[in-house]
Amino acid sequence: MDGIDTLKARYLAAVAGAADEAGLEEVRVAALGKKGEISALMAGLGKMDPEARKAAGASLNALKDEIDAALRARKVALADAALDERLKTEWLDVTLPGRPRPRGTVHPVSQVMEELTAIFPDMGFSVAEGPQVESDWYNFDALNIPPEHPARQEHDTFFMHRAPGDNRPPHVLRTHTSPVQIRAMMERGAPIRVIAPGRVYRMDMDQTHTPMFHQVEGLAIDRDISMANLKWCLEEFCRAFFEVDKVELRFRASHFPFTEPSAEVDIRYSNTGGQLKIGEGDKWMEILGSGMVHPKVLQAAGVDPTQWQGFAFGMGIDRIAMLKYGIPDLRAFFEADLRWLRHYGFSALDVPDLAGGLSA
């Protein structure tokens, strides 16, 4: 058996001569592994007498510690050397610009809703919200919609299921945001100016209709509000929304159960080469319905119609988004991917600004 000093010299030389971590591991196993030479010597200590075991044990422990320390130091040195070699062959140019990350885009419906809630508050309106599942009373009765009206038939409205034996009128998926106006009047009273944007539901599906779409309705109640105030409000909105200086609206007599008198509103436009321009040309396009709030609607909401009057209007958010951005098919909002929508040039939202307010 080689002496302690001979073992020390041999293994320290082997450690120093290891060219890589694999070679260093071979030296460790040969010296300190389970069947290594130094491990075997330590296993034989039990056969020695106490005095010899004490002296040999101290020497072997010191040898083991020294070899282990040499192995650790050599491993660090090999890792540093490997890193130095990598740094010589690998480099990073920190002056290069970063890789561009794909950006999402604001959905046209969301963008238009943001624009609406920026324009109307400049005219003194606040934003009101309400439930999308409504009672029959809020959605129809409070709005002076009689039982025989087509909107109350199953072919036009989504009715919620009632349990057998429950004879109450079924709840509905709201067909307009007008119930929000009723709730707002009952909660706040008069005077009041609110807009109610949100999702609505009707059983319809074609190029310009979907079963779920978005609507905004406006309500202004005060002592002496008139159709002239309604006309001013809608003209100011159209100027700000369509970003044109000149807007011409046409009010056509119509009938809605919740307003009297009622009017459908058309906007002047031109369409040349597939490019639609608002505020010019010789064509007219319907964009919304409006009118003076019916006295029965005011009564249902707890507002005295002998003291208060006002106007209301409603328009499809999806529809005015189509007009502004030239999108021909409403279904594109819900079925197309971002590449299709980017075709229409959506960019970061520019919040419109509108000076002035509603004159009562």
Binding site for Mg(2+), by residue number, is: 260
Q: Indicate the pairing of strand 126-127 with strand 192-201.
A: parallel
As annotated, the binding site includes 260
State the Cα–Cα distance between residues 297 and 185, nearest whole angstrom. Answer: 10
Rounded to the nearest 10 degrees, the angle between the axes of helix 21-32 and helix 4-17 is: 160
Cα–Cα distances in angstroms (integers) from residue 130 to residues 127, 135, 196, 200, 328, in the given order: 11, 12, 8, 11, 30
Residue 329 has φ and ψ, to the nearest 5°, of -125, 120
State the Cα–Cα distance between residues 17 and 34, nearest whole angstrom. Answer: 22
Rounded to the nearest 10 degrees, the angle between the axes of helix 227-242 and helix 108-119 is: 130
CA angle 63–69–70, rounded 5-degree value: 90
Any idea which residue has 């540093």 for tokens?
A: 80
For the chain, the maximum distance between any two Cα atoms, rounded to a whole number of angstroms, is 120
State the Cα–Cα distance between residues 239 and 260, nearest whole angstrom. Answer: 26
Q: What torsion do the CA atoms of 250, 151, 211, 283 make, to the nearest 10 degrees? A: -20
Burial of residue 235, with CB atoms counted within 10 A of its CB: 0-12 exposed, 13-18 middle, 19 or more buried? middle
Alpha-carbon Rg of the chain, whole angstroms?
41
Which residues are within 8 A (CB) of 150 and not within 5 positions of it... i.e. 6 or more apart?
Answer: 156
Q: Is 172 helix (H, G, I), strand (E, B) or coil?
A: strand
